[in-house]
């Protein structure tokens, strides 16, 4: 009997099975969309004509695969990099399973897109289906993964043994290995720029770096990294270190190294990180250098903390900062991108009950959340390589940093969730009281350099641009290619990617309007920032010969210090 005839006889049964499965999918989508929503929820709906269109397309493509049997699916599956190796093509059963999976995955995503619901529910459904689809890939399972099977045969089972060892190791350390972590050590081959810790309190250490030039600009530069990660993303290795680059440009550079919170810091709040963190660091740099004003840079949450600190200082009548650089930073949380799927009143209330009065948000929970924003790249890719193939991932400094997680104090985290992601209070003049002062970012009239990454999934590029509409001082906005980290850590010597500027000084209300007058430039945005920063750095003076300033601020220990070495 021909495959055409066989298909015809089974079409009615197949359509019934598909209809039953589709109903189950819709029930699952309903549960996903209702997650976190109090009270009764209206059923999710898909327009009948759209549902019929998806069903018809699925049946046609499934019929084509059925008729091709075990021949052409290899070419279909090869279009996805998970199935692109020759081993998948050489194994007809694996190739067919990959092709069928891709059809099912595409159909599920079309159903998710077709759901008629409000934007948040729609985004939740899409996100959950993406997770589901990524987890169900046949490449994730030894029974279907042709590459892993072939390697097991060729190594006489050694790859499977190694995979089990890798799995047990990762279970012990509490996270999936993304790189060969044995190849890195903080202070030995990452975070190696020469310097010394010249101040510390219970929240942070202040690192002063040794100048690389005979003369430095009279206004020092203070870097405030995010407290949800280790600082050495800004100082991985000399070739890709923003710290080293700033020193080479003649800036007397200081950096905040946040302590990895333990039980002693479980009560710390947003106010503490602003007052005893950013404000204390600014004051200390002023005292060490004698500078009336300093230049500052904040990255991600570090930029949000730093901007809040400047608003508090402005309310106190103080103006200690000559310029502010914000890298992939939220001030306006109207569009929080994919992270919005987690945020609603019930979720925030739960976190406030759980952590608002004390406790720690564990670093591994944060790290897992961010990894599953890109599940194929940052989760399943390593599950396949580490466990099914028994491979050791290559050494990569950025992924080592990504795995070096940090905790957060519960009260800090709960305040941050409600007042930024949920209620977007930071941008509302006078809405928040921080460190005893009403916060108004409109009073922060410091010249500011605002950088956003075009493909950023943590701080969407439109949200980075939105800061141009909040801060009133002279502003320069620059957009870089790539994402949240790779877009920022893009040294000029690599000659990679590109960036966009607009030199007419116009900052219209939307990013799209800004782009209409923007120009693309090959290579890193660092050189553009360096030119801008020089204009706010003052005259050049003789570089200091030592660290600190004598009696009050002395060397405590050599950089990178012990705080950054604390594990979550």
What residues are annotated to the active site?
A: 300
496, with CB counted inside 10 A (0-12, 13-18, 19+), is middle
CA distance 282 to 222: 7
CA distance 59 to 71: 19
CA distance 356 to 560: 31
Tokens of 234: 């800004």
129 torsion bin: left (phi>0), alpha (psi -120 to 50), beta (else): alpha
DSSP letter assigned to residue 141: S
CA distance 532 to 180: 38
SS3 of 389, please?
coil
CA distances from 369 to 91, 188, 287, 498 (A): 35, 29, 40, 29
Nearest alpha-carbon partner for 89 in 80, 194, 518: 80
Q: Taking the mean position of all CA atoms in its chain, how far away is CA 389?
A: 28
Output phi, psi for 158, to 5 deg: -65, -35
Polymer length of the chain: 568
DSSP letter assigned to residue 431: T
Helices first, then strands: H and E counts in the chain = 21, 19
Report whether 243 contacts 237 (CB < 8 A).
no
Q: Is the dihedral of CA 210, 212, 214, 217 positive or negative?
A: negative
Residue found under tokens 């091709």: 68
Q: Is the dihedral of CA 29, 32, 33, 39 positive or negative?
A: positive
- The H or E element containing residue 205 is strand 204-209
> Cβ contacts of residue 13 below 8 Å, gap of 6+?
none
SS3 of 467, please?
helix
> Cβ contacts of residue 460 below 8 Å, gap of 6+?
335, 336, 337
Tokens of 283: 């004051």
């Amino acid at each position: 009997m021909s495959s055409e005839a066989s298909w015809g006889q089974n079409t009615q049964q197949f359509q019934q099975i598909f209809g039953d499965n589709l109903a189950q999918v819709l029930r699952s989508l309903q549960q996903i969309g209702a997650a976190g929503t109090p009270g009764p929820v209206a059923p999710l709906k898909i327009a009948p004509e759209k549902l019929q269109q998806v069903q018809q397309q699925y049946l046609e493509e499934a019929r084509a695969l059925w008729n091709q049997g075990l021949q052409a699916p290899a070419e279909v599956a090869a279009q996805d990099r998970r199935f692109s190796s020759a081993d998948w093509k050489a194994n007809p059963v694996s190739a067919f399973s990959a092709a069928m999976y891709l059809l099912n995955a595409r159909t599920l995503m079309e159903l998710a897109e077709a759901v008629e619901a409000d934007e948040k529910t729609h985004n939740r459904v899409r996100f959950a289906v993406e997770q589901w689809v990524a987890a169900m890939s046949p490449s994730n399972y030894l029974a279907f993964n042709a590459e892993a099977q072939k390697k097991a045969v060729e190594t006489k089972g050694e790859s499977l043994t190694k995979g089990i060892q890798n799995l047990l190791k990762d279970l012990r350390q509490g996270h999936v290995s993304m790189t060969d972590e044995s190849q890195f050590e903080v202070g030995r081959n990452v975070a190696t720029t020469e310097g010394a810790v010249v101040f510390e309190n219970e929240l942070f250490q202040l690192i002063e770096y040794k100048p690389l030039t005979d003369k430095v600009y009279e206004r020092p530069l203070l870097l405030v990294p995010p407290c949800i990660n280790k600082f050495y993303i800004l100082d991985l290795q000399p070739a890709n270190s923003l710290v080293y680059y700033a020193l080479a440009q003649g800036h007397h550079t200081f950096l905040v190294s946040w302590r990895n919170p333990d039980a002693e810091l479980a009560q710390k709040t947003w106010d503490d990180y602003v007052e005893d963190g950013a404000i204390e660091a600014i004051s200390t740099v002023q005292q060490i250098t004698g500078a009336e004003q300093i230049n500052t840079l904040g990255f991600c949450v570090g930029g949000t903390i730093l901007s809040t600190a400047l608003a508090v200082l402005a309310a106190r009548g103080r103006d200690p900062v000559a310029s502010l650089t914000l890298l992939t930073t939220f001030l306006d949380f109207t569009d929080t991108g994919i992270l919005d799927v987690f945020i609603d009143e019930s979720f925030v209330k739960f976190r406030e009950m759980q952590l608002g009065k004390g406790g720690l948000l564990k670093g591994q929970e944060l790290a897992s959340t961010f990894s599953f924003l890109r599940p194929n790249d940052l989760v399943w890719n390593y599950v396949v390589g580490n466990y099914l193939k028994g491979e050791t991932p290559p050494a990569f400094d950025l992924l080592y940093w990504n795995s070096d997680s940090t905790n957060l104090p519960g009260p800090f985290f709960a305040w941050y969730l409600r007042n930024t992601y949920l209620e977007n209070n930071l941008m509302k003049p006078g809405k928040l009281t921080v460190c005893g002062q009403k916060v108004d970012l409109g009073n922060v009239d410091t010249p500011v350099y605002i950088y956003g990454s075009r493909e950023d999934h943590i701080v969407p590029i439109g949200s980075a641009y939105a800061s141009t509409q909040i801060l009133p001082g002279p502003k320069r906005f620059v957009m870089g290619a790539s994402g949240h980290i790779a877009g920022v850590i893009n040294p000029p010597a690599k000659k990679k990617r590109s960036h966009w500027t607009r030199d007419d000084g116009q900052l219209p209300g939307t990013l799209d309007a800004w782009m209409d007058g923007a120009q693309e430039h090959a290579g890193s945005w660092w050189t553009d920032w360096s030119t801008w920063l020089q204009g706010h750095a003052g005259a050049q003076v003789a570089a200091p010969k030592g660290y600190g300033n004598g009696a009050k601020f002395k060397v405590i220990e050599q950089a990178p210090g012990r705080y950054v070495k604390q594990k979550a």
